[in-house]
């Protein structure tokens, strides 16, 4: 049996990291963030990509180090490894212990860890203070005017998930809300 294929168009190779970076430039004030990471009162950060095999390593290096000027040692474990460096790939206080330990020493003011594709993260503050997903959503919601995209486009709602539900359940303002479990839009209580 013989197969023959006819291609009517060319395949265009694109760099998804550059595409994502260009999107981020429209969402965040890179000038302000760069000043924070490189200025005289530099915020030292530590981001652990946990050797994710998909995309996070190149994205973190390009955005944080190359574009925003954070020192190269701000981003760790950026080389993708099939076995995640022998560690569990879930960014939480149980499995990602090296970042909280480094943060507790007080050298870094902000820390984050990401899973392989970046859809889960752990955020830590000064001295290893754990910022829950509900708290991070509350911080974003309270500071929408500081985010370039929301200043320009406004806010149309918040996505409700198990990790963020307590914040949205406690909000007193009415705002559109997408409930992932029921796949319906509803209102914050």
Predicted confidence (pLDDT) per residue in 53-99, tens digit: 667 888 899 999 999 999 999 999 988 888 888 888 889 999 888 99
169 and 137 in contact (C-beta within 8 Å)? no
pLDDT for 185 beyond 50: no
pTM, 2 dp: 0.78
- What mean pLDDT do residues 28-38 have? 94
Least confident of 21-30, 137-146, 163-172, 180-189: 180-189
Whole-angstrom distance, CA of residue 166 vs CA of residue 153:
26
- At 73, give phi and psi (nearest 5°): -80, 5
First to last CA, the chain: 63
């Amino acid at each position: 049996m013989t197969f023959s294929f006819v291609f009517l168009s060319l395949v265009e190779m694109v760099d998804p990291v550059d595409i994502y970076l260009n999107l981020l430039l429209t969402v965040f004030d890179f000038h302000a963030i760069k000043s924070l990471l490189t200025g005289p009162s530099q915020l030292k950060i530590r981001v652990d990509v946990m050797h994710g095999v998909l995309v996070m390593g190149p994205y973190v290096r390009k955005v944080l180090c190359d574009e925003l000027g954070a020192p190269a040692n701000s981003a760790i474990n950026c080389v993708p490894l099939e076995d995640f460096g022998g560690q569990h790939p879930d960014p939480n206080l149980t499995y990602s212990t090296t970042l909280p330990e480094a943060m507790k020493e007080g050298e870094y003011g902000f820390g984050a860890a990401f899973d392989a594709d970046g859809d889960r993260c752990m955020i830590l503050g000064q001295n290893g203070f754990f910022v829950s997903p509900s708290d991070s959503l509350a911080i974003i919601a309270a500071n929408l005017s500081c985010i370039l995209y929301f200043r320009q486009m406004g806010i149309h709602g918040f996505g409700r998930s198990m990790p963020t539900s307590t914040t949205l359940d406690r909000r007193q303002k009415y705002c559109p809300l997408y409930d992932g479990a029921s796949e319906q839009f509803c209102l914050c209580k």
